[in-house]
Structure 1
Amino acid sequence: MQNATKTPKRLLVALTLAAAFGGFAATAIREATQAPARAAPAATDTAALAPATVGALPTAVNGQPLPSLAPMLARVTPAVVSVHTKQRVRVSPFGNDPMFRRMFPELTQERINESLGSGVIVDAGNGYILTNHHVIEGADEVSVTLADGRTLSANFVGSDPDTDIAVMQVKADGLAALPLVSADTLRVGDFVVAVGNPFGIGQTVTSGIVSAVGRSGLRGLGFQNFIQTDASINPGNSGGALVNLNGELVGINTASFNPRGSMAGNIGLSFAIPTGLARNIMDQLIANDGVVIRGAFGVETQPVTRQLAQGLGLDDARGALVNRVYSGSAAAAAGVELGDVIVAADDQRIDGPDALRNFEGLQRVGSRVALDIRRDGEPMTLQVELREQPRTLAGVDLDERLDGAVFAELPERLRQAGANGVLVESVANGSRAAGSGLRAGDVVVAANSGRFDDLPGFRASFTRSPAQLVLRVVRGGRPYNALMR
């Protein structure tokens, strides 16, 4: 009777220890039961065998198999790849000073920077892989490692820094691809799974829920329409897959938020690019030789202050107030006028110029958009068919004094950080623009030709060229005035 009493107590102790030590206890028990047989005296104390008996996990609960993501992940993980990049950089003790580099070339050394990321095979037949622009940006060599261990050289198809989408291509047999489904059906609370290569430790799976959809307003991340999730996305996960419980691709993992920096780890604020946007950009990059052609309304807008709202007869101080309509633009053709306030686009709320610009940047040429506006306080709806937005502009087309310079739109991540103006994309050696001191990478924020915020506004400001042309230029964070001769 006494032995019968002790045995349940020992079983209770064993169960308590297994619960307290989790995987440690389970691992120890498994190793003990799987160890090779050894010559030993026969066990006579049945209580000593209790941990091995109770440590095994049940295969079913109430007659139902335990739920597991393993069958779904067996289909998903072969389509997720690790991306390796190499970039050759020349390092000099004199920094970037060109004169000293020429004087002491023997002191300049070549260094190879390597980085890791993730990617998703979305077309097995053609070998197309989706990843993030920032994963492959500036890379001289890119290779991918498949889940089966094969490493393949990847060709660059194209990328779009403003949506952080890039497309690569590999040539190989036996590739697996993930089906893309619209993320429009995602709801807050839906379960999702992230697959990637965080910190370069190897393919890793994390899970969570959809925390928000249509997330925007994050500084420095370009055009935004993110899926927010609490599934862990850490450095190296970028470009990996976000899938639903059917194993279908709903997003491309792109960023995590941590006030102490990305290397501090994930705190449950992670973001993915929805597949609808990713597919749109991918199709354009493939069809247009690596270029994305965006549609444009052709307007400049400003915020609606409380004073302006009262003067315009608006109930709320929100929306984008039109202060310029470009000639020949989509907005002009649709009948948009100065003083109109855009409050929604395709039923998406527009609170200000940033929201309108973000919406515009996600549309392709030819898209038809319903603009909800307020004109003299009265609601109206205008149908606008977006027209092509120029990507670059030759300076000589504006003014002969800008000959040799090519201007482009600012990267959207700079605009999200509060910058306005145009980027000097390139300057030809020996040109008039070069002689006046312009350099590639300069940002022109103002000019005495007229007011502007972006490339169309810069072009429109040259309706009448001034006798003396002065540009306000920011270089390396420092502003100066450049007289164009």
Structure 2
Amino acid sequence: MTDLSPLSALSSALADVVARTAPSLVSVHSHRSRASGFAWKPGLIITADEALADEGEVEIRLADGSAVAATIAGRDHTTDIALLRANTDIAPVKLAATVPALGALSIVVATDRSAPSASLGLVSASGQSWRSLRGGDIDARIELDVRLRPAQEGGLALNAAGEAFGMAVLGPRRVLVIPTATIERVAAQLETRGRIARGYLGLGLQPVRLDDGIGAMVMNVDKAGPSAAAGIRQGDVIVAVNDQKLSGVRALSRTLGPASVGSVVDVAVRRGGEPLSFKVTVGERPEA
């Protein structure tokens, strides 16, 4: 018997990696949406929030073709992570804290039409932490040069050793990976609280252009919110926060992440053209 060629050996190794991981993958059905998911802990499934319908029943389909009802334990649209509860005995995946090197091989194991699927590609970007357009803190920038169908979103991204380093999601014009560190941090809060705490100023803001930059006009004030308690009124124009000039309403919103709750910020405003300053203790955004 001759030894396997290098390509044959690689092919066999990749097939083994997929075979070991596939039993932990599920297909997530919600309204008309289809996505992939994986067992994080016993009875807990992680999937891509963006691929999960906003209403209606949720069902997961297992590798053996059976279907199980699921409930939403919590979801965070800023990091694209949703957590489902389901009565299953699927073996959880052990997530690795590693961040793959640029150019490394990556396999995305997911589901498509309720059956296991696999895609092979390269890590096309590997870098430092970043903030999503929706204000979520992502612990590492990982992009994959791989093609995924919408139903494969929420699958596992593996390295060549078979270690799962995150969840594959469809970003703008590219496939992104939500890394293990982000999944573990966010999913743990969703498991215990059902939501992620977000900072809250209690203000409705409208961007305005000033002679010396950009401001945010206060259009309405939550009378029970932290800004009202500090003395900010409707009609005030916010020009700076913590001595940093305002670059826009969206940029201000992105600073109100989980770590901001309870912090005290200096808010500089103009009221009738006169400069004023207020100390606002950031609250926690109430549930919608």
Change (3 A) 1:210 1:357: farther
2:212 alignment partner, one of 308, 316, 327: 308
- Give me the TM-score of the superposition, normalised by structure 1: 0.43
**Residue aligning to 2:35:** 117
Q: 2:104 and 2:205 mapped to 1: Cα distance? A: 37
1:193 aligns with 2:107: yes
Q: 1:192 and 1:335 mapped to 2: Cα distance? A: 53
**Residue aligning to 2:273:** none
Q: Is the 8 A contact 2:95 2:165 kept in 1?
A: no
Structure 2 gap ranges (5+): 271-277
**Residue aligning to 1:78:** 23
Q: What displacement does 1:140 show?
A: 2.8
Q: What displacement does 1:144 show?
A: 2.2
How does 1:253-332 map onto structure 2 within 5 Å?
Answer: 253-257=168-172, 269-288=174-193, 290-299=194-203, 303=207, 305=209, 307-309=211-213, 321-324=215-218, 329=225
- Give me the TM-score of the superposition, normalised by structure 2: 0.66
1:208 alignment partner, one of 118, 122, 138: 122
CA offset digits 1:221-267 (Å, max 9, x no partner): x5555644323222211221234556454433332545xxxxxxxxx
CA offset digits 1:432-454 (Å, max 9, x no partner): xxxxxxxxxxxxxxxxxxxxxxx
**Residue aligning to 2:275:** none
How does 1:71-470 map onto structure 2 within 5 Å?
Answer: 72-73=17-18, 75-85=20-30, 87=31, 115-123=33-41, 126-137=42-53, 138-146=55-63, 149=64, 151-160=66-75, 162-163=77-78, 164-173=80-89, 175-179=91-95, 181=97, 192-198=106-112, 202-211=116-125, 214=130, 216-217=132-133, 222-224=134-136, 227=141, 228-244=143-159, 247-257=162-172, 269-288=174-193, 290-299=194-203, 303=207, 305=209, 307-309=211-213, 321-324=215-218, 329=225, 339-342=238-241, 351-360=247-256, 362-363=257-258, 366=261, 368=263, 386-392=282-288
Higher strand share: 2
Q: 1:343 and 1:210 mapped to 2: Cα distance? A: 37
Q: Is the 8 A contact 2:207 2:217 kept in 1?
A: no
CA offset digits 1:365-390 (Å, max 9, x no partner): 74658x698899xxxxx997642212
Q: Is the 8 A contact 2:27 2:112 kept in 1?
A: no
| Aligned partner letter, 2:198 | R
Structure 1 gap ranges (5+): 1-32, 34-52, 88-112, 259-268, 310-319, 377-381, 393-485
Q: 1:308 and 1:186 mapped to 2: Cα distance? A: 44
| Aligned partner letter, 2:190 | L
Q: Is the 8 A contact 2:166 2:179 kept in 1?
A: yes
Higher helix share: 1
Change (3 A) 1:58 1:280: closer
- Aligned Cα RMSD in Å? 4.6
SS of structure 2 residue aligned to 1:285:
helix
Q: Is the 8 A contact 1:121 1:130 kept in 2?
A: yes
Q: Is the 8 A contact 2:209 2:215 kept in 1?
A: no
| Aligned partner letter, 2:192 | A
Matched pairs, number = 267
Identity over the aligned pairs, expressed in percent?
23
Q: 1:374 and 1:343 mapped to 2: Cα distance? A: 8
Structure having greater relative contact order (Cα 8 Å, sep ≥ 6)? 2
SS of structure 2 residue aligned to 1:154:
strand
Q: 1:306 and 1:188 mapped to 2: Cα distance? A: 44
Larger radius of gyration: 1
Q: What displacement does 1:187 show?
A: 7.0
**Residue aligning to 2:274:** none
| Aligned partner letter, 2:212 | L
Q: Is the 8 A contact 1:229 1:270 kept in 2?
A: yes
